[in-house]
Structure 1
């Protein structure tokens, strides 16, 4: 006896249903494995530290627009044009004190020995130089606003 066509149709549907369920189960496993991999190997940009963010790009710096000063055999590069302009307005001794102090990280005593000055004189030169530079930079900023 031959089985009815409705029985054959029902068997095919059950087989198809089983195959679909197995395929979906496999997709679910693959998807979860993929998500776990991404969580392990990927990081959101907002979660990166400044150091890590800095490694994501580079900036070409050719030094064409930078100003160079020479003090005691050191070549000191000043990248900000406004600061460079203010430094040029200072006397040589005051400029040397500022450059050695802030760009070469030298103490007042070290600067004094290098320039044959008393430590208190180095302090006064730096203090007055910073005041002059501040005034020059403020004037330049005010001129740009106008």
Structure 2
């Protein structure tokens, strides 16, 4: 008697599980149908609707890459990049290697094949030129 009772409970539980799974499957199918009714393919959208879905990533828009002896140097900021682009290549290379790649004067002189003292002089004169250019363009220096 105990075996038939356990068997009946197992059968009832099995039937309950099947019913729950069937109901869940129906629910999922209805949900998918509802979502399909609300969706539009991109081909069906008008030009103005498509424009509303567009997102312009501005993350890299103000990044500029300078090439220094085969090394790419990324400069962020349009004004600074414009100022650096105005410089002669030799002066620009000293600034980029020094401030953007963190090289020492000795490393820069070896890389550019110039005298060590020339690196220091170029950096000083170039920094003055950059400052004048930035001030002329209306850059305001932050308070210290």
Q: Tell me the TM-score normalized by structure 1.
A: 0.54
- Give the equivalent residue in structure 2 for 1:102: 99
Matched, 1:132 2:129: yes
1:115 to 99, 102, 112: 112
Q: Tell me the TM-score normalized by structure 2.
A: 0.55
C-alpha deviation, 1:64, in angstroms: 2.4
- Give the equivalent residue in structure 2 for 1:76: 73
C-alpha deviation, 1:62, in angstroms: 3.3
C-alpha deviation, 1:65, in angstroms: 2.4
| CA deviation map 1:12-70 (0-9, x unaligned) | xxxxxxxxxxxxxxxxxxxxxxxxxxxxxxxxxxxxxxxxxxxxxxxx76312211101
| CA deviation map 1:46-102 (0-9, x unaligned) | xxxxxxxxxxxxxx7631221110102111111111111110111000000000000
CA RMSD in angstroms, aligned pairs only: 1.5
Aligned pairs (5 A) from 1:18-29: none
2:69 & 2:75 partners in 1: Cα distance? 16
Q: State the aligned residue count.
A: 83
C-alpha deviation, 1:104, in angstroms: 0.4
Higher Rg of the two aligned structures? 1
Unaligned runs of 5+ in 1: 1-59
- Pair 1:61–1:104, CA change in 2 (3 A): farther
1:61 & 1:110 partners in 2: Cα distance? 35
1:90 & 1:110 partners in 2: Cα distance? 21
